[in-house]
Amino acid sequence: MASSNTKGTNATNGTLKGQSKSSKPRMERKISSPMNPAFMTSAPGKVIVYGEHAVVHGKAAIAAAISLRSYLLVTTLSKSQRTISLRFPDIGLSHTWDIDALPWSTFSHPSKKKMYYDLVTTLDPDLVKAMQPHLSDVSPEATGEHKKIRQAAASAFLYLFLSLGNQTFPGSIYALRSTLPIGAGLGSSASISVCLSSALLLQIRTLAGPHPDQPSEEAELQIERINRWAFVAEMCIHGNPSGVDNTVSSGGKAVLFKREDYTRAPKVTPLRKFPELPMLLVNTKQARSTATEVAKVGALKGSLPVITEAILNTIDAVTEAAYKLITSATFNQRDPHTAETLGKLMGVNHGQLVSLGVSHPRLERIRELVDLVGVGWTKLTGAGGGGSTITLLRPDASPKALKELEGKLDAEDFERFETTLGGDGVGVLWPAVLRDEGEEEGGG
């Protein structure tokens, strides 16, 4: 902000300032402190290509970023405005808190305080309890699933904000928009969690860059910190997430993910050679709950432990076969045999998920329509019970058959997305980048 310089000549009566007996000393205007510039974070959605549900039980999964993303615009308010506001129009959430009224004493207590570099694997029940009075008036007019989604998003933000920030935090507005459908098994909540985590870590100045000469080790460390706090937000939303969604949304590309011990960080193997596969992604528009579907498999394992474990082991074997193929020295994504092998593995994976009871008639209908025109291999992705399917398209799929399939999907009110796998992870858009280059920095 430009300041006014009031020293110099006083034009009244043609005299210099200080020569008139009646003149009074002039007060110097204090130069205002400029607000921090607005910035934007973004993060992709994901699909689990192989291994959903098995990954919750300590098996491996392969997940890949998709080209659909969420975008969070952060605007810092003037020092006199002591509020933080969420503006998430895609889910109908609009809420404002008084910063000074929040439960800082509980979150900052020496026995509770966490640092930005800490690994948090469970939610602290005392901290969750302290937040409740500040969440009870979030979207009071909403009911059912709408209210649940809005309060979960508010809870995730508030837990991160109180854990990472302090009472001197500047007033801010967090406005989020997303191209990802909600509740479709595409990692929309993880995408939002990564956006929030990276934004707050940037605001407390614990992230540097990204910049062209940043050492890869530093970049990886910062992405891991973003990922850890995004997982905390995911716990607020889902209760017992595997961590795979936030991991691939943070780092991008594709990963082999395995978490055998939830008290420790997962084992994540980046798949830099993962092919940019042409995918047709179809949203059933059938709402479902990740927590409900995960609990369904847990209950099946409790009643039929040997059989359920055998199914989970088969899914794990499918994931391992795909991993060995993709990482082999002779891997060639343009080889028709490669696409066919990956497609057949997707079919086996889907069959095992059907056996676990997590499919849905709408999901099976999409598979039927794809099979009828013979353009690729289809499986559910994510928790199931609704949500979405992914179809690996055959290299020789005819345009006429694809057009026919699109028409049939549209006629039955399915939502289609053409996407590719293996894109960039979390990104940051600064005003200078927007002005000078018009491109987003980021990726893992």
Task: Round to whole Å and give the CA distance between 88 and 324.
Answer: 41
Task: Round to whole Å and give the CA distance between 39 and 430.
Answer: 5
pLDDT per residue over 110-155, tens digit each? 888 888 888 888 899 999 999 999 999 999 888 888 888 999 999 9
Instruction: List the structure tokens of 426.
Output: 């979390």
pLDDT of residue 210: 64
Work out the pLDDT band at 291, boundaries 50, 70, 90: confident
Q: Is the pLDDT of residue 189 over 50?
A: yes
- Rg of the chain taking only CA atoms, in angstroms: 26
Task: Round to whole Å and give the CA distance between 52 and 33.
Answer: 50
Q: Is the pLDDT of residue 162 over 60?
A: yes
383 secondary structure, DSSP code: S
Q: Is the pLDDT of residue 10 over 50?
A: no
Q: Is the pLDDT of residue 265 over 80?
A: no
Work out the pLDDT band at 212, boundaries 50, 70, 90: confident
pLDDT per residue over 382-399, tens digit each? 889 998 999 999 988 999
Work out the pLDDT band at 18, boundaries 50, 70, 90: very low
Q: Is the pLDDT of residue 11 over 70?
A: no
pLDDT per residue over 19-29, tens digit each? 444 444 554 54
pLDDT of residue 335: 85
Q: Is the pLDDT of residue 250 over 50?
A: yes
Q: Is the pLDDT of residue 311 over 90?
A: yes
Q: Provide the 3-class DSSP secondary structure of residue 1.
A: coil
pLDDT of residue 219: 82
Contact 270, 255 (CB under 8 A): yes
SS3 percent helix, strand, coil of the chain, rounded to 5, is: 40, 20, 40
pLDDT per residue over 69-78, tens digit each? 999 999 999 9
Q: What is the mean pLDDT of residues 294-320?
A: 97
pLDDT per residue over 54-94, tens digit each? 999 999 999 999 989 999 999 999 989 999 999 999 999 99
Work out the pLDDT band at 209, boundaries 50, 70, 90: low
User: Which of 346, 408, 405, 354 has the alpha carbon at shortest distance from 379?
Assistant: 346
pLDDT of residue 431: 67
Instruction: List the structure tokens of 359.
Output: 């499919």
Instruction: List the structure tokens of 294.
Output: 């995960």
Work out the pLDDT band at 203, boundaries 50, 70, 90: very high
Check 124, 126, 137, 245 and give the catalytic one.
245
Q: Provide the 3-class DSSP secondary structure of residue 274.
A: coil
pLDDT of residue 290: 81
What are the DSSP calls for 413-435, one per residue?
T-EEEEEEBS----EEE-HHHHH
User: Which of 143, 337, 332, 125 has the alpha carbon at shortest distance from 236?
Assistant: 125
Instruction: List the structure tokens of 349.
Output: 């994976």
Task: Round to whole Å and give the CA distance between 431 and 198.
Answer: 17
pLDDT per residue over 348-380, tens digit each? 999 999 999 999 999 999 999 999 999 999 999
Q: Percentage of the chain with pLDDT > 90?
A: 59
Instruction: List the structure tokens of 437.
Output: 């280059």
3-class SS letters over 100-161? HHCCHHHHCCCCCCCCCCCCCCCCCHHHHHHHHHHHCCCCCCCCHHHHHHHHHHHHHHHHHH
Question: For this structure, is 245 an active site residue?
Answer: yes
Across the chain, mean pLDDT equals 86
pLDDT per residue over 235-244, tens digit each? 999 887 878 8
Cα-to-chain-centroid distance, residue 369: 31
